[in-house]
Structure 1
């Protein structure tokens, strides 16, 4: 599977979101006319509570200090996405980010859902 935008190839982000951002910031995004987007997946535990809020703030601040133009963040875990796939009626309002748009989970094809599940399984 190819990487999306300037994100790492699925399963290759072994050091977490801060490392992914630092890698993306090494690219001079001014050469890409607004097309240098970083797709970032985070586990819900990473943004929970005051510590999570502070971590999210630090993540966004790190990103905004660089030259990259767009950041798409999905906060999900594989178990929730698998359950949503099996029980769509329980997750009518579940949304994910796809190419800059919020999309209802139940409106995307199973193959795309499987891709997001694989992404969630690879989060560190």
Structure 2
């Protein structure tokens, strides 16, 4: 099935993000084998080098492990690594922007917390 890619973001970055999301959502589990480079390239209709770049980046970050002759597998620590990475990005990028938005709209932190509680977030 062809994957739809967004403009303005490199394809390999989107593939990395999609794999990370699949791990966060439990669709990919520790020690699970990913599709081969060729299979993924055909499925997503992208160049095999693009897939290789994404898989290699995830391997460098410790999210994937390469088993010689067998392919790429989700590492045992993948979930923790992704959560840490995303948490840092959240605090670095989202929180400052959220803070500015709250100030612009005159929303205090207590109101935000109450709204989050209503959404089921603790």
Quick check: TM above 0.5? no
Q: TM-score category by the smaller chain?
A: under 0.3
Larger strand share, 1 or 2: 1
TM-score, normalization by structure 2: 0.28
Q: Which has the higher contact order (CA 8 A, sep 6+)?
A: 1
Report the structure number with the largest CA radius of gyration: 2
TM-score, normalization by structure 1: 0.28
